[in-house]
Chains A and B, each alone.
Chain A
Amino acid sequence: MSAPRRALLALVALFVSAGCGSPPPLDKRLETLGSWTATMQLAKERHGAGAITVTYATQLRDAADEAFQQASTTIGSSARTRTDSAYAATALDSLRNAIRQLEAEIGS
């Protein structure tokens, strides 16, 4: 098989293995949690304004819940110092509250 074709195959193989990187650093984790908290708040506001359906809002809540579960089990590995853990805890708390508020909004 000619050299360029072998290189192409090696490139593709590398690509497939690229999918699984190392665990993201803490600030990325906090950003993700913040993003989901903001998503919950926007969803609550939009549902209040009658813009989105309960079905859709529930799906958003489930996705946020999944992000919350995943973060709460794995964030320990990225939070080394005590201040990091403090940040992590507050981020997790604000997301949990945001989720609860959305549930209250769509529940009522």
Chain B
Amino acid sequence: MKKWGELALGIVTSIGGFLEVGSIATSAQGGAEFGYQLAWVLLLGTLSLAMLMEMTGRLAAVSKRTYADLLRERFGFRFFVVPLVAVFVVSLLVLMSEIGGVAIALQMASGIDFRWWAIPIALLGWFLLWRGNFSIVEQGTAMLGLVAISFAVGALVLHPTWPTLGRALLPSLPSHDHARYWYLAVAILGASISPYLYLFYSAGAVEDEWTIEHLSVNRVTAGAGNVFGGGLAIAALVTAALVLAPRGIRVEHYEQIALLLATPLGRTGFVLFIATLFVTCFGATLEIVLAMAYLLAQGFGWSWSENLKPGKDARFSTSYSVLILLAALPIALGADPLSLTNISMVLTAASLPVTVVPLLVLMNDGDILSSHVNGWPSNLALVVMGLLSLVLLVAALPLQLLGGG
């Protein structure tokens, strides 16, 4: 029975964990401006994330060591500095956007300007991390994250034309605004394939003391869980395509996105959207700040675990405490959450090579994975993923200039 419990938990975690401010904002903007057409990018992002999480999960289950730990130990500190700095900077920006998302949700509900909510949100998040252990943080936010299913309900109520959606799952070129199309594609990929997701996932596998028996749970969690999560992001895109696009509404401010569910589902839709934005962004806030603390602690060899009392891992708990408050400052000072989100999503896409390419070496290292090394299909997928990440790195900056903002 324990295996089924973990299976359900696994799926719940990735459903709840997938949607966050980045995927909601980029899917809404994509649907509003290009209808169904960008659905294939979400599919590509979801499958890539599922693959990367399966691999980092397998790495952690077999070797009992996290991805960040192996990155430092196998390649040396001189190399490790690059992913460390890149992922840290990018995750800090995404963390700010997530806190912005929660603040906007509270502003829409209360009418009090989002700036006032930033510090209280950070303090609440800090309190949960300080007192709660790993499973409370992971399962609590994921269970609540299921409210994101309201996007699927919203999309269904609007009766999407399935054949068009089916065709949109295949890559297609835009008819107008090429730079904007590819900019949103990069932002959507950045929103779905975020390094903190698989760093957190591999640390979670160690926190949950996974062993080789968990490889099947790992495959299902990384696979099915993420496909479910990606499905919700596609639902958000479809809802925007059916509500915003026909009316020529482009998403310039977060507030506009609430109309997505208020249109098909009335007042309940409006309330469900605010709950979804609040819960998914708050869950992501906890996940990102923990992932950053894990990255530092595992990289420098400090003691770390969300299951230990803070006194036992002082530098680890100081890190997440300082980071969550630091990330709340720009929002408290009035930084625009939507442009912050867009820039952080594109930067995330640009930072992918430093965490994807090293997997090529680690996942084929018999010392670490013994018989569980990558088969040729996984290696092929990883090489394609590595090339895609290099294309994103090169394309991100010009697209930010041409199609951004």
Q: Whole-angstrom distance between the alpha carbons of A52 and B108 in the complex?
A: 10
Please report the C-alpha to C-alpha distance between residue A32 and residue B256 in the assembled complex, in whole angstroms.
13
Q: Is B270's beta carbon under 8 Å from chain A? A: yes
The reply to whether the CB of B247 lies closer than 8 angstroms to some CB of chain A is: yes
- Say yes or no: B266 contacts A56, CB within 8 Å: no
Q: What sequence of 0s and 1s flags, for each residue 373-405 of chain B, a beta carbon within 8 Å of any chain A beta carbon?
A: 000000000000000000000001100110011
B residues less than 8 Å from A53 (CB atoms): 270
* Known A-B contacts A51-B269, A55-B111, A59-B107; A42 and B263 likewise in contact (beta carbons under 8 Å): yes
Contact in complex: B262, A14 (CB < 8 Å): no
CA gap between A46 and B267 in the complex, in Å: 9
The yes or no answer to B250 lying at the interface (CB within 8 A) is yes
CA distance A46 to B249 in the complex (A): 15
Task: Give B402's nearest chain A residue, CB to CB.
Answer: A21
B249 near A42: Cβ-Cβ < 8 Å: yes
Question: Is B108's CB under 8 angstroms from A59's CB?
Answer: yes
| Known contacts A19-B405, A42-B263, A43-B259; A35 and B270 CB within 8 A of each other | no
B397 lies within 8 A of A32 (CB): no
Write the chain B residue with the least CB distance to A66.
Answer: B253
**Interface size class, chain A:** 20 to 34
Contact between chains at A50 and B266 (CB < 8 Å): yes
- Chain A neighbourhood of B397, CB < 8 A: 11, 14-15, 18
Cross-interface CB contact of A46 among B252, B263, B396, B401, cutoff 8 Å: B263
In the complex, how many angstroms separate the beta carbon of B271 from the nearest chain A beta carbon?
9
> What's the least CB distance linking B103 to chain A, in Å?
13
* Alpha-carbon distance A36/B259, docked complex (angstroms): 13
A86 within 8 A of B: no
Complex contact B400–A56 (CB within 8 A): no
- Whole-angstrom distance between the alpha carbons of A8 and B394 in the complex? 11
Contact B343 A46 (CB under 8 A): no
Report the tally of A-B residue pairs with Cβ distances under 8 A: 86
Assess whether B400 is in contact with A18, with CB atoms less than 8 Å apart: yes
A55 / chain B contacts, CB cutoff of 8 Å: 108-111
Q: How large is the interface on B (under 10, 10 to 19, 20 to 34, 35 or more residues)?
A: 35 or more
Asked if A56 and B267 sit within 8 Å, CB to CB, the answer is no
Question: Which of A32, A39, A50 has the most B CB atoms < 10 Å from its CB?
Answer: A39
Query: Nearest A residue to B180 by beta-carbon distance?
Result: A28
Inter-chain CA distance A49–B262, complex, in Å, is 10
Interface: B5 (CB within 8 A): no
A58 at the B interface (CB under 8 A) = yes
Q: Select A51's contact among B247, B270, B350, beta carbons within 8 Å.
A: B270
By a CB distance below 8 angstroms, the chain A residues around B209 are none
Whether the pair A67, B258 counts as a contact (CB closer than 8 A) is no
Query: Contact partner of A8 among B82, B109, B249, B347, CB < 8 A?
Result: B82
For window 1-57 of A, CB contacts with B under 8 Å fall at 5, 8, 11-12, 14-15, 18-19, 21, 31-32, 34-36, 38-39, 41-43, 46, 49-53, 55-56
Nearest CB on B from A38, distance (A): 4
The reply to whether the CB of B73 lies closer than 8 angstroms to some CB of chain A is no
Q: Select one of A11, A19, A32, A50 contacting B252, CB under 8 A.
A: A32
A108 CB to nearest B CB, Å: 18
Is B400 a contact partner of A52 (Cβ separation < 8 A)? Answer: no
Question: Does residue B76 face the partner (Cβ distance < 8 Å to A)?
Answer: no
For the A-B complex with A15-B397, A18-B404, A35-B252 known, give 15 more contacts whose Cβ atoms are closer than 8 Å: A8-B82, A11-B350, A18-B401, A19-B339, A19-B343, A32-B252, A35-B248, A35-B250, A42-B247, A42-B259, A46-B263, A46-B270, A52-B270, A55-B109, A55-B111
Chain A contacts to B: CB under 8 angstroms: 5, 8, 11-12, 14-15, 18-19, 21, 31-32, 34-36, 38-39, 41-43, 46, 49-53, 55-56, 58-60, 63, 67
Closest 10 CB pairs of A and B: A55-B111, A38-B247, A51-B266, A35-B250, A51-B262, A63-B253, A18-B400, A38-B249, A18-B401, A35-B249
Which positions in B face A, CB cutoff 8 Å? 82, 86, 89, 107-111, 243, 247-250, 252-253, 255-256, 258-259, 262-263, 266-267, 269-270, 339, 343, 347, 350, 396-397, 400-401, 404-405
